[in-house]
Each structure stands twice: as C-alpha cells, then as structure tokens.
A and B are shown apart, each in its own frame.
Chain A
Amino acid sequence: MFASCADPETLSGLSWLWCYLTTGKHLAFYGAFGTVLLLLAVTAPVALAFGFGGAVAARSRIAPLSWLGRAYIAVVRGVPDIAFFLFFVIALDQGIEWLRHKAKCPDWDQPIRQGSDFVVCAEAKMPLSTSAQWVHEVYGFWLAVFTFALVFGAFAANVLYGAMRAVPQAQIETAEAYGMTRRQVFRRITVPQMWVYALPGLSNLWMVLIKASPLLFLLGVEDIVYWARELGSTKTPQFTAYPHGDWRMWYFLFLLVFYLAFTRISEIVLDRIMLRLSHGQATLGSHKRTGPIGMNKAGPP
C-alpha cells in the first residue's frame, strides 16, 4: 500500500501497526462497514414496503388475499432467520434463473435438473458468467437485500397490522360520517395516523435488523464479521508479512463497540422522531418513550 510498508519485517511499534492496518485485506474490512450500512439503509425501506403490503393484504376483505397476508406473517415470523437464509437464497437464485431460462431459451431440450445439478442455458444465468465480478457482487447484494426485506417485512407487517387497528375507532367513524369511502378513510385517516402507533415496534425492528447484520455472511456478502474472523485468526509467517497469534478477540471487540455505538445512535435518533411524531398526540406516556420495545403481538394469529 505505502512505500514505507514494503518490508514489514524491519518495522516495529506504531509504524508496523500502521502498515498492518492498511493492508488490502484491512481496507476490504473497512469497506465492509460501508456495505453493511448501505445494506441496512436500503433494506429498511424495502422491508417497510413488504410489511405495508403484508399488513394491507392481511386486512383485506378478499378472503384469499387476507389468508395470503396472514400466512406470510405467520410463516416467515415463525422460522428462525438463519434457517430461512440458509436455503432461501439458493432457491431464489435458482427461481430467477429458471424464469429467465423459460423466457430466453424456449427451445432448450435438456432437463434443468440433471441429478443434483441445476443447469440453465448460458443466456439465462444471473448474472451472465461472463460478467465482471462486480456485477456478481451487486447481484449478490440485491439478493441479500431482498431476503432480509422479506424476513423483516413479515415482522413489520405484524407491527403495521397492529398499528392500523390501533387507530381510534372514533376517528374512522367521524371520517365515514363525512362521507368518505373506505379507500379514502384508509388513505387519509388510517395511514397517516398509524405511524405513531407503529413507530415503537418499527424502531425495535430496526434494532433487531442491525443486530442481524452478521447474518449477511450467510447470504454471500463479505461482511464485517467475515473479515473480522479472517483477519483475527492466527497468521503463520509463511503466508503473510504480518504474522500474529489469535487476535480475534480484538477484532470482535472492535465490532462490539461498533454495534453498541450504532444501536445507541439509532436509539437517540428514533427517540427524537417519536417525540416529533407524537407532538400534540394525547397518547398516554408517548412523550417519554424510554426505548424501543418488542413488537406488539396484536397482529393476526
């Protein structure tokens, strides 16, 4: 990286440490923090959208749609996220390729499943195997976003479903008395009003999401935990210019501080938002929210 780092064996003390901490591997480690933050920033709104869809579906008067929404909430919430991540991404990837295969290679005559192999035509590969590595990485990132959003969307749906029901009945009735249609009531009363009820549950979900980010590693994104493990493990002199013992403790300590700081900042920001949202709202104790709490359970069974 730096010219002064050309021969690490001659270095000692701080200059050694400086060179050590600026190896390509460490830069990848620092970059992974960006990946994690970006993923969280992208996933949160997408998951919220999934959750909104799920909640609206679960409330629907059309029975099949309502079942679908409820089934989504019940099933995805019922499965531990790790178990879900372990097979879902491969399934999703194969599903996408299968669809592309059907669309792009209609005259393909070989079976797609050959023994344990999953074979689609070259044009259906996602991304194409000739694509540059960064394309593969971006694709992997979006698969991860989708999977995370699907899982956390189920929890968000549960929160929003409860929040929609918590909007005071009197307000709905007043709106109906003014002659609003169901759709108008939903758009003008329920949705704007529900946020204050949903925020505590949603902010808790955000906290859970932050702490789920080590699972990124399962989804094929090289995240901070992957690098911390890799960098911290014992390095023998044969394979590195910077040999060291088992330093995982220090790397994980660093991660611990990162997560604690991140949670704390989130708590402060969310408290501010809550304060603003509940401004003028006469809910009991809404002005002194003390921290996030588990999502309410008033969702569909």
Chain B
Amino acid sequence: MKTLILSTALLALGSGAALAESHMQTVRLGTEGAYPPYNFLNDAGEVDGFEREVGDEICARAELTCEWVTNDWDSIIPNLVSGNYDTIIAGMSITDERDEVIDFTQNYFPPAASAYAAPSEDVDLTGGVVSAQATTIQASHVADSGAALLEFATPDEAVAAVRNGEADAIFADKDFLVPIIEASGGELMFVGDDVPLGDGIGVGLRESDGELRDKLDAAIQSMKDDGSLNELLIKWFGEETQTFE
C-alpha cells in the first residue's frame, strides 16, 4: 500500500478567475485522504476537511492554482521528493527526522497532543499492547515507551484493533481520536496523560523548492495574522482546541 495514488477526486481551484494573473503556477497538493478531520474523502469522493480548507486558502492568498492529489501515507515523502506532487498537506508533524529530507513551512496547526484511547481506565500503557499507524511519530513513541507496538497500515485498522481486543490501547493524534471517542458512546475513552509530540503540522516541500516555500510561508503567516486560521481550527476541531496567539 505505498505508491502514488493519483486521486480522481480533485479540483483545480477556482480562485483563478478573480486573480487572473498571467503567470499562475499549478501546484499539486499531496494528501492522504484518510485522516479526518485533517483530511478525508467526503461522500462525493472529494478531498475534504480542515486541510482542504487551509490548503485552498493558502493557494488563493499565494495566487497559485492548486490541485489536490491523494497518495498513500507510507510513500508520501518518496513521491514528493521524486516530484509527483509539490507539497504534502496531510497532517504531517514537523520532526527532525523528516526535516532532514524535506522542508517544512511554518506550522499551520499548533504542536498537538497525542493521546491514548482504550476501552477501560486500567490498561498498562507501558507494558501492554498499544496499536498505532505504522511509520508515524506515534509508532516511534510507542516503540520507545516499552509497550508492545502493534502496527497497522491505516489509522482505522489501528482503532479497530482496540475495539476487537487485539490491542489494549491506541496511541494517535488526539484530534483524530476525539470524534471517534464521541461516536463510540462510552466504549472507548482517553487514558493517561496527553503526550506532546512534534512541532506542529506544516506543509512539506522539497528542499530545492525554496521559492514556493516562501510563498506558502507568507500565506500561512497572513492567515495567522488576520485570525482566519484560528477560525478554521475552531470550525474543525471545536472550541477547546489550541489556537495560535
């Protein structure tokens, strides 16, 4: 489950007409499409979610024509560096490891907490079995914590493993878990303390794309400045979520 999945579900963004500039550049935005509320495919099969709105707004402000592409998480970076799309907007936390290979813009999502969810309060988070999506910062964290790591290709399967008892708990982005726990009707609950991981979520780019990074950086800054980014955060993650100052 790795390589580029060129999605059918895309839109060339219609911001073009208003900003009809002569040298508009087409930028291909890579995302996963399976990580609500950050990004997911809606009923119509289009990319939707917090990052869809942020990405569209960034493109509008940077005066770029943008196109959404979905790609499997596991190979999302190799396909970026080999040029199959130009940015990654897929809930990707900024980490030192990744920063060595690709560049990030400033974060558009504040450093987020990861959390454990489990069917009961009394699970052993450092000695039990904890599931996580393979090759995420959460998976690395679980491997370090001493718990037995059970890895799944998609976050959904990792959740399913807790439901069916394969794993004692799941460790994932808290914002990903919130709607699941709400919908579970008490079957699942947060356990233990939140764990801050990473430096927030930024747009990933090739290191050789300095110019594009500056454009996107400026657009994100302007969204932070006028508060529109915070509005989107609250819209998608609720009133209690962290916002930018």
| A contact residues around B206 at 8 Å (CB) | 117, 119
> Would you call A100 an interface residue if the criterion is a C-beta within 8 Å of the partner chain's C-beta atoms?
no
> Would you call A120 an interface residue if the criterion is a C-beta within 8 Å of the partner chain's C-beta atoms?
yes
| A contact residues around B6 at 8 Å (CB) | 133, 136-137, 140, 220-222
Check if A238 sits within 8 Å of B179, measured CB to CB: yes
Which one, A22-30, A152-160, A291-299, is touching chain B? A22-30
If A24-B44, A90-B78 touch, whether A129 touches B86 (CB-CB below 8 Å) is: yes
**Of the candidates A89, A115, A137, which one forms a contact with B3 in the assembled complex, judged by CB atoms under 8 Å apart?**
A89
**Nearest CB on A from B7, distance (A):** 7
| A contact residues around B9 at 8 Å (CB) | 24, 28
> Would you call B42 an interface residue if the criterion is a C-beta within 8 Å of the partner chain's C-beta atoms?
yes
Instruction: Report A91-139 residues with CB < 8 Å from chain B CB.
Output: 93-94, 97, 114-120, 125, 129-130, 132-133, 136-137
> Would you call A15 an interface residue if the criterion is a C-beta within 8 Å of the partner chain's C-beta atoms?
no
Tell me the nearest residue of chain A to B34, going by C-beta.
A230
| A contact residues around B86 at 8 Å (CB) | 129
| A contact residues around B208 at 8 Å (CB) | 114-115, 117, 119
- Give how many B residues have a beta carbon under 8 Å from the other chain's beta carbons: 53
Which one, A65-73, A172-180, A240-248, is touching chain B? A240-248
9 shortest interchain CB distances as A-B pairs: A24-B44, A220-B4, A233-B156, A25-B45, A24-B45, A23-B43, A236-B183, A239-B36, A28-B45
Check if A23 sits within 8 Å of B44, measured CB to CB: yes
Check if A117 sits within 8 Å of B207, measured CB to CB: yes
> Would you call A237 an interface residue if the criterion is a C-beta within 8 Å of the partner chain's C-beta atoms?
yes
A-B contact pairs, 6 of them (CB 8 A): A90-B78, A114-B208, A140-B6, A218-B3, A220-B71, A242-B43
> Would you call B19 an interface residue if the criterion is a C-beta within 8 Å of the partner chain's C-beta atoms?
no
**Of the candidates A25, A118, A119, A140, which one forms a contact with B4 in the assembled complex, judged by CB atoms under 8 Å apart?**
A140
| A contact residues around B84 at 8 Å (CB) | 93
If A97-B83, A239-B48 touch, whether A234 touches B160 (CB-CB below 8 Å) is: yes
Tell me the nearest residue of chain B to A220, going by C-beta.
B4
> Would you call A16 an interface residue if the criterion is a C-beta within 8 Å of the partner chain's C-beta atoms?
no
User: A239 vs B52: C-alpha distance in the bound complex, in angstroms?
Assistant: 13
**Nearest CB on B from A220, distance (A):** 4
User: A292 vs B114: C-alpha distance in the bound complex, in angstroms?
Assistant: 52
> Would you call B28 an interface residue if the criterion is a C-beta within 8 Å of the partner chain's C-beta atoms?
yes
| B contact residues around A226 at 8 Å (CB) | 5
Most buried by A among B42, B45, B101, B208: B45
> Would you call A195 an interface residue if the criterion is a C-beta within 8 Å of the partner chain's C-beta atoms?
no
Q: Mark B19-39, 1 if CB is under 8 A from A, else 0.
A: 000000011100001101100
Tell me the nearest residue of chain B to A8, going by C-beta.
B43
**Of the candidates A86, A115, A222, A242, which one forms a contact with B2 in the assembled complex, judged by CB atoms under 8 Å apart?**
A86
Knowing that A23-B43, A129-B27, A140-B4 touch, tell me 7 more A-B residue pairs with CB under 8 angstroms: A23-B44, A23-B45, A116-B102, A217-B5, A222-B5, A222-B6, A236-B36
Check if B41 sits within 8 Å of A25, measured CB to CB: yes
Tell me the nearest residue of chain B to A225, going by C-beta.
B1
| B contact residues around A86 at 8 Å (CB) | 2-3
**Of the candidates B10, B28, B69, B180, which one forms a contact with A236 in the assembled complex, judged by CB atoms under 8 Å apart?**
B180
User: A221 vs B70: C-alpha distance in the bound complex, in angstroms?
Assistant: 11
> Would you call A77 an interface residue if the criterion is a C-beta within 8 Å of the partner chain's C-beta atoms?
no
> Would you call B49 an interface residue if the criterion is a C-beta within 8 Å of the partner chain's C-beta atoms?
yes
| A contact residues around B5 at 8 Å (CB) | 217, 220-222, 226
**Nearest CB on A from B185, distance (A):** 12
Check if A25 sits within 8 Å of B43, measured CB to CB: yes
Check if B36 sits within 8 Å of A238, measured CB to CB: yes
Check if A218 sits within 8 Å of B83, measured CB to CB: no
